[in-house]
Amino acid sequence: MTREKTTPSNHRERRRAVLAALGAALAGAALPAWAKFQPDQFRIGYQKAASTLVLLKANGALEKRLAPQGIKVTWNEFPAGPQLLEGLNVGAIDFGYVGEAPPVFAQAAGADFVYSAYELPTPHAEGVVVAKQSPIRSVADLKGKKIGLNRGSDVHWFLVALLQQHGLGVRDVQTVWLAPADARAALQSGAIDAWAIWDPFLAAVQAQDGARLVADASGVASHHQFFLSQREFAQKRREVIAIALEELGKTGQWVRQNTAAAAARLAPIQGLDAATIETGLKHYAHEYRPIDAAVLADQQKIADTFYDLKIIPRKVVTKDAVLA
């Protein structure tokens, strides 16, 4: 059984929904100026939880690298990966960072993007938690329970894989579609029994609410993170994406070597205490690689499983989302 909870959307979320609807309406029609390739702009979509990208935004290094080429960098915040990919699909952004499941959903919906790079596996950065007083102690105990998660996000795949590994299926639990803030409140109130979530939210609910970890993705899912690009931009501005990835690599190296300092810088941005952010940062690799056959095979496994379970409407070939 699947239940979807409707929650009030803030202004930004409403704007993303409008963009998505507009993208569908414009299929086959002339695109507005903001949705067309703009050679003098580099529009980046980010999530506040995407630490390395957020730090790159804060330090201004990318702007300095691209200014001599006459390219203006702009940043657009999204609440989660699915919404970011909607923005990429309708041409509102050129580049963004998401987890492993959102690209599969987007490709199944016909989005035209390409994989540009991936982060090394980070399975400790997502997990299923329960309230500290919960009687749930194992994955088997989740049977029949209400589990909150962000639909189409990387934890969507994690939950499917976790249940399968323990002899359960998605129909054996009640999934409740909730954004992170709403899911945390629902867990606190007892409206849901468990929450599938990623860092830094995972670290925060454990540190601040005493939530217990039932399982993380170790041995279950790779939890790759991806940098994606709008296809036309990737074709015409490869050098810009290469510069962005180079600067992200430098920022990632700095985070690995200065984790406490990175957490301190992120604290006022992410609205969490530095100690909690530092815990989350240690769960990520902050190292990036060019797309290769192995990671595409992992993505294909997710796509095939989602199609078999009728979670996505059609089969996709993940290698179609790479530049020749």
Residues 216-258: tens digit of each pLDDT: 999 999 999 999 999 999 999 999 999 999 999 999 999 999 9
Q: How many angstroms separate the CA atoms of 115 and 106, rounded?
A: 12
230 and 308 part of one domain: yes
Instruction: Say if 199 falls within a structural domain.
Output: yes
Question: pLDDT tens, 159-204?
Answer: 999 999 999 999 999 999 998 989 999 999 999 999 999 999 999 9
What CATH number is given to the structural domain containing 140? Answer: 3.40.190.10
Q: Which residue from 184, 16, 146 is spatially nearest to 85, judged by alpha carbons? A: 16
209 and 146 part of one domain: yes
pTM of the model: 0.85
Q: Which residue from 323, 129, 275, 298 is spatially nearest to 213, judged by alpha carbons? A: 129
237 and 107 part of one domain: yes
Q: Which residue from 85, 112, 111 is spatially nearest to 97, judged by alpha carbons? A: 85
Number of domains present in the structure of the chain: 2
Backbone CA torsion sign across 231, 233, 287, 256: negative
Give the end of a domain, one of 216, 237, 268: 216
Give the end of a domain, one of 216, 244, 268: 216
Peptide bond into 180 cis (omega under 30): no
Residue 5 · residue 178 · CB < 8 Å:
yes
Give the end of a domain, one of 166, 194, 216: 216
Question: pLDDT category, 19, cuts 50, 70, 90?
Answer: very low
pLDDT, mean of residues 47-60: 90
Instruction: Say if 301 falls within a structural domain.
Output: yes
Average pLDDT, the chain: 89
| Structural domain boundaries, residue 144 | 123-216
Angle between helices 259-270 and 51-59 (to 10 degrees): 90
